[in-house]
Each structure stands twice: as C-alpha cells, then as structure tokens.
C-alpha cells in the first residue's frame, strides 16, 4: 500500500476549528498517509500588490503544496450561508499562480458548521468556486457536520456514528481513486 500525501485546507483559521478537526478525522479514516495542513494566513488578494511584488511567497507555497499533494481535502465553515472569505481568498490567489495547481487533482470537499444544515450551502458554493480549476472532485457521500461545536469529543473524534460512516466511505472512495 502506497503512502499518499494529503493536503488539508481548513476554511477556518481558528486553531480549535471544527473544520480542522473534520480534516483530521478524514485523514484518520483514510488510513496511512503523510498529512500536511495548509496555512491560509494570506494577504487579501490585491491586484496592486500582485503587480508590484508578484505572487506572495505564502501563496506560492500553498500552490506548490497543492501541486505536490496526491490529494487535497477542503473543509469549509459556513458564514452567512456561504463559504468563508478566507477560503475564497486562498482560491483566488492560487488561481493567479501559473501552472494550474488544481488540474486533475483529486479533491474532497466537506463542511462543518454550527447550523442544522452542517454547512451544506457553503459546500455548494464551494463546488461552484472550484469549477474553473478543473480539479478531479471526488464527490459523495456528502459529509456535512451540523452543530459542529458539539460534534467532536475531547480527543477530536466524531461522536456521531452516521457521520463517521459517511466520512469513512468518502475517504475509501478517495483511496480507490488514488490507487487506481
Ligand atoms: C460571520 C459568521 C457567519 C456565520 N454564518 C453561519 C451560517 O450561515 N450557517 C451556519 O451554520 N453557521 C454560521 N456561523 C457559525 C459557524 O458555523 C461556526 O462559527 C463554526 O464553528 C465555524 O467553523 P469552525 O469551528 O471551523 O471555525 C457563522 C459564524 C460566523 C463567524
């Protein structure tokens, strides 16, 4: 069995973010893997900055991480029924880097939010945002974690067996894509 490199992208910057926890649960469900978590502390996209200084080094690093990963996992919070600005900013910046970092990259999308829908609307916006990049979206079963502040135990494990099962199926599907 190969050891794959997975890059996790949390749309929430908080250290204790539910979305970070969900990414780590996804990696656990995937099994043996090298896991790297992206840092989305990027400047706000600004065409003047890009003209004056080119691609910021932290954006270049993110694009390089996406390119070199075997697969990317993205987990978004829901802010006002949409994906987070932090995540959209990162997607916009990476789209400015030459070389189409996302092209054909296996990508899994998930969401965790405090609301009852578990970030479903945010994830649907995220799908639209990913459309231009020609990634290989590995889709379904859908993983939305509702009431996410209560969804993980103290060790970061998902409490709900159903959610864990769907996450396991999704990650098994991803492994199948990588091993094909
Ligand atoms: C600006 C803002 C808007 C929010 N809007 C929504 C929303 O539309 N739907 C929802 O379920 N939760 C909403 N929330 C609550 C988030 O789901 C909650 O903060 C969640 O924990 C964020 O994910 P994180 O734990 O990964 O940071 C909002 C939170 C913020 C800060």
Q: What is the pLDDT along the chain (180 residues), one digit of tens a residue?
A: 679 999 999 999 999 999 999 999 999 999 999 999 999 999 999 999 999 999 999 999 999 999 999 999 999 999 999 999 999 999 999 999 999 999 999 999 999 999 999 999 999 999 999 999 999 999 999 999 999 999 999 999 999 999 999 999 999 999 999 999
What's the 3 CA to ligand 1 centre distance in angstroms? 34
What's the 52 CA to ligand 1 centre distance in angstroms? 35
Q: How far apart, in whole angstroms, are the C-alpha atoms of residue 127 and residue 43? A: 23
Which pTM value belongs to this model? 0.97
Using CA atoms, how far residue 30 sits from 3, 109, 138, 172, in Å, is: 11, 14, 14, 6
Q: How far apart, in whole angstroms, are the C-alpha atoms of residue 162 and residue 49? A: 46
Question: What per-residue confidence (pLDDT) applies to 2?
Answer: 73
What's the 47 CA to ligand 1 centre distance in angstroms? 29
Task: List the residue whose alpha carbon is closest to atom 3 of ligand 1.
Answer: 79
Q: Would the CB of 81 count as within 6 Å of ligand 1?
A: yes
Q: Would the CB of 82 count as within 6 Å of ligand 1?
A: no
């Amino acid at each position: 069995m190969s050891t794959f490199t997975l890059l996790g992208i949390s749309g929430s910057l908080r250290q204790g973010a539910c979305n970070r926890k969900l990414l780590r649960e996804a990696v656990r469900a995937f099994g043996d893997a090298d896991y790297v978590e992206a840092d989305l502390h990027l400047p706000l996209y600004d065409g003047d900055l890009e003209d004056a200084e080119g691609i910021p080094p932290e954006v270049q690093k993110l694009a390089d991480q996406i390119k070199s990963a075997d697969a990317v996992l993205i987990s978004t919070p829901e802010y006002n029924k949409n994906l987070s600005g932090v995540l959209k900013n990162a997607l916009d910046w990476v789209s400015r880097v030459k070389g189409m970092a996302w092209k054909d990259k296996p990508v899994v999308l998930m969401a965790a939010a405090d609301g009852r829908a578990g970030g479903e609307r945010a994830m649907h916006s995220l799908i639209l945002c990913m459309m231009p990049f020609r990634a290989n979206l590995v889709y379904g079963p859908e993983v939305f974690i509702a009431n996410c502040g209560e969804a993980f135990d103290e060790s970061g494990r998902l409490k709900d067996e159903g959610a864990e099962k769907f996450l396991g199926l999704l990650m098994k599907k991803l492994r199948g894509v990588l091993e094909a």
